[in-house]
Amino acid sequence: MRQTFRHLEQAIRREGNPAFIPVYEHGVDLPIVSAVMGIGFDDLDLSSRDGMVRFWKRLIAFYDQMGYPALSFEMGIHFARIQTGSTRHDDIEDPVRRGWVDERNGPIASWEDLENPANWPDIGAAFDYDVFEEVAALVPDHMQIVGGASGGPFEHASFLMGLENLCVTLAEDEAFAETLFRKIGETLVGTATRLAAHDRLGIYRFGDDLGYKMATILSPDMLRQYVFPWQKRVVEAVHRAGKPFLLHSCGQLAEVMDDLIDEVGIDGKHSFEDVILPVEEAVERWGSRIAIFGGIDVDFLCRATPNEIRERTLRTMDRCGRGGGYAIGSGNTITSYVPVDNYLALMGAVASFNGT
């Protein structure tokens, strides 16, 4: 018997003890997919609609073959073009150039930029809905989509202004900050409303990384003023469509978890690091109020042996998953620098525990 989306839905809705502890992954980097599937992606033109659809078709085949009950699928919103760069790691083996966003500058720097309609497309033009429809049609009946429009209000604000400029603006120009977050938030709510109604989207998700290892990036009060109200409106739109909402957010969020659970209304939380909070402790703290997804630390996945990974995965599933409300997977994503054998050890342990 294979996992189906229903098992993942039972987990995020915390509907008792499921037949399987479902497996969930925020994403799997392409070198891992290629190594497992024996297929590449270099032949695809990802700037074209056809190339993008073919890209996702290959990823669907991977997720299905590996036993995932859902496809992780997000696409970006067409805000103003952000400033990015890329580089290679100099301390680990990694075949992928890592992208980064300019922390000092962004396309929104003045009231003129903020009020320029070209930077704020209407809801119908803000997202590639046609591509989403084509990809959704390819998802097998036993799977659904976890995802939607990528990025939460804080991430988009920090990308559009650069984190340094955003922080200065938050301190010096409340009217500008309020307008910025309103323009971002209204677009997020509009796209979420449209996408959450799709019958192939089972769980709405975006990433909004709010923390460093020791604390939140913005103060809790600033998050409560600018970020959480718009996250809440997105969650409300998703709930009106009858779908649950999963928040992917990195960092130390202990000080604002009550806000996220009680005020924003998230149904589940993903992204856990051992140095911040091991997933077992997260389940103890919040597992009676929200679902907890993932938790096998990425650093551990990189450094441990396959046998150590198997043992830890089995222990984590036994400790976290017996009462429901939990899905197993990495603490963040299966990055390109995770050894393939270690990834397969994780997935093999999941299958062994579930008897599949």
CATH of the domain at 206: 3.20.20.210
286 has pLDDT over 70: yes
Instruction: Please report the beta strands in the chain, taking only residues with DSSP state E, as ranges in sequence order.
Output: 70-75, 84-87, 98-101, 144-149, 201-207, 245-248, 268-270, 291-293, 326-327
* Rg of the chain in Å (alpha carbons): 20
Measure the CA–CA gap between 101 and 119, rounded to whole angstroms.
Answer: 18
227-277: per-residue pLDDT in tens?
999 999 999 999 999 999 999 999 999 999 999 999 999 999 999 999 999
Into how many domains does the chain fold? 1
Measure the CA–CA gap between 93 and 336, rounded to whole angstroms.
Answer: 9
- Residue 87 confidence (pLDDT): 73
For β-strands 70-75 and 144-149, DSSP reports them as: parallel
63 has pLDDT over 80: yes
Residue 335 half-sphere exposure, CB side, CA atoms within 13 Å? 20
Measure the CA–CA gap between 250 and 65, rounded to whole angstroms.
Answer: 28
- Residue 102 confidence (pLDDT): 79
pLDDT category of residue 147 using cuts at 50, 70 and 90: very high
Q: Is 35 exposed, middle or buried (0-12, 13-18, 19+ CB in 10 A)?
A: middle
156 has pLDDT over 90: yes
187-241: per-residue pLDDT in tens?
999 999 999 999 999 999 999 999 999 999 999 999 999 999 999 999 999 999 9
17-33: per-residue pLDDT in tens?
878 899 999 999 999 99
- Residue 144 confidence (pLDDT): 98
Measure the CA–CA gap between 74 and 204, rounded to whole angstroms.
Answer: 10
pLDDT category of residue 91 using cuts at 50, 70 and 90: low
Q: Is 85 exposed, middle or buried (0-12, 13-18, 19+ CB in 10 A)?
A: exposed
The DSSP line for 191-259 is: HHHHHHT-TTEEEEEEE---B-SSSBSS-HHHIIIIIHHHHHHHHHHHHHTT--EEEE--S--GGGHHI
Specify the DSSP class assigned to residue 28: B
Q: Which domain holds residue 56?
A: 5-354
For the chain, report the end-to-end CA distance as a whole number of angstroms. Answer: 6
Choose among 63, 52, 67: nearest CA to 28.
Answer: 63
- CA-to-CA separations, 259 to 45, 73, 186, 265, 289, in angstroms, rounded: 42, 27, 21, 8, 12
pLDDT category of residue 86 using cuts at 50, 70 and 90: low
Cβ contacts of residue 77 below 8 Å, gap of 6+? 126, 127, 149, 150, 151, 156, 187, 188, 191
Measure the CA–CA gap between 205 and 336, rounded to whole angstroms.
Answer: 22
Cβ contacts of residue 285 below 8 Å, gap of 6+? 257, 277
- Joined tokens for residue 124: 């119908």
151 has pLDDT over 80: yes
- Joined tokens for residue 239: 């709930």
